[in-house]
Structure 1
Amino acid sequence: MTHQNSPRMQFVHAAPEVYKAMVQLDAAARKGLAPELVELVKIRASQINHCAFCIDMHIKDARAAGESEERIYLLSAWEEAGETYTPQERAALALTEAVTVLTDGFVPDAVYEHAAAHFEEQELAQLIAMILTINAWNRIAVTTRMAPGSYTPR
């Protein structure tokens, strides 16, 4: 019997071509987006998906990029955090939540239109790509039970 917290497999070794494609997708998705925004999106989606490995990784990356502790620890309650996040960041976080939890009314027009008001079309497309990419990473990490704590920012 596998212990609940024990990794099930090393995905990078079991599916190296998929892993490489995911890394390339991640790099392509982040182009043109502010690094701070990218990490906020990755952390928030990972919180929703209960992906401990990715939460740990992206909090470390956010800190390494200079993100404040306050903005990191208030992220799970961003809607109640007032002006802690910019209007553009709040629009991105709302879109992140809608795309991550598709079964909760899909992506409402109001959420999409709010994000479209804060991002040029190409930026919005990049943001959507970033959201889908972190969701894919979350699903890989949760399914294979990647353990948090070992990641060190580059």
Structure 2
Amino acid sequence: MTDTNQPLTHEKNQPEIYGHLGNTHALMANHGLDHALSVLIELRASQINQCAYCVAMHLSQARKAGVSQAKLDTLVVWREVDHFSPAEQAVLAWTEALTYLDRDQDLSELRRDLRKHYSDQEISVITADIGMISLWNRVQKSKH
């Protein structure tokens, strides 16, 4: 019998499911999602979702991907600084909208901003990345 206070190990309990989820990131990269942009998405969503493990992991990945320290230092206040390109700002706004899920928010302006910089196919991959990191944040938090 399992100790009810013991942390869960989902990847051991359901390796097929969690293995397939892990493969999604490789698919996104194969469909052209820039790694530096992906780690910004994943870091910002992890900050919002307050997943300390994921924040630390994505900070490390961002440094390896060449994301500047200025961007890493100011990601949480990205609207207030000029370190992010208009394309990155559009993605960060989309990331926040899909992570906070404010039912009253109109996404049409955000889609319009995204389409200035990305194709619909790219936006679909970006959206998948946002959804996946939110899932991983929740999985990771459920382990503690």
TM exceeding 0.5: yes
- Post-superposition Cα deviations, 1:31-61, rounded to whole Å, max 9, x if no partner, equal 3021110000000000000011111111001
1:50 match? 50
Q: 1:51–1:142: 8 Å Cα contact kept in structure 2? A: yes
Q: Check conservation: 1:98, 1:104, Cα contact below 8 A.
A: no
Q: Tell me: CA distance 1:139–1:106, structure 2 relative to 1, closer, same or farther (3 Å).
A: farther
CA contact (8 A) 1:95 1:107 kept: no
Identity of matched residues, %? 33
| Structure 1 unmatched runs, 5+ | 146-154
Q: Please give the residue correspondences for 1:59-70 in structure 2 after superposition, counting only pairs within 5 Å.
A: 59-70=59-70
Q: How does 1:2-151 map to 2 (within 5 A)?
A: 2=5, 8-30=7-29, 31-82=31-82, 84-106=83-105, 108-145=107-144
Cα offsets for 1:51-77 (capped at 9, x unmatched): 111111110011111222111110000
Q: What's the TM-score, normalizing by structure 2?
A: 0.90
**Distance in 1 between residues matched to 2:35 and 2:25, nearest whole Å:** 12
CA–CA separation in structure 2 for the residues paired with 1:107 and 1:134? 22
Measure how far apart 1:119 and its partner are: 0.5
In the alignment, is the contact (CA less than 8 A) between 1:43 and 1:59 conserved in 2?
Answer: yes
Cα drift, residue 86 of structure 1: 0.7
What's the CA shift for 1:104? Answer: 4.7
1:86/1:111 CA distance change after superposition, 3 Å? same
Bigger relative contact order, structure 1 or 2, given CA contacts below 8 A and separation 6+?
1
Query: Is the CA contact 1:29–1:133 (under 8 Å) kept in the aligned structure 2?
Result: no
CA gap of 1:33–1:59, structure 2 versus 1, over 3 A, is: same
| CA distances 1:86-139 after superposition (whole Å, capped 9, x unpaired) | 110000000000011113535521112211221111111111111111111111
C-alpha change, 1:21 and 1:138, in structure 2 (3 Å) is same
Q: SS at the partner of 1:74?
A: helix
The answer to whether the 8 A contact 2:90-2:114 is kept is yes
- Mapped partners of 2:21, 2:105: distance in 1: 24
Q: Which residue of 2 aligns with 1:150?
A: none
Give the distance between the partners of 1:133 and 1:26, measured in 2 at CA. Answer: 8
Contact 2:8–2:142 (Cα < 8 Å) also in 1: no
Q: Distance in 2 between matches of 1:136 and 1:106?
A: 21
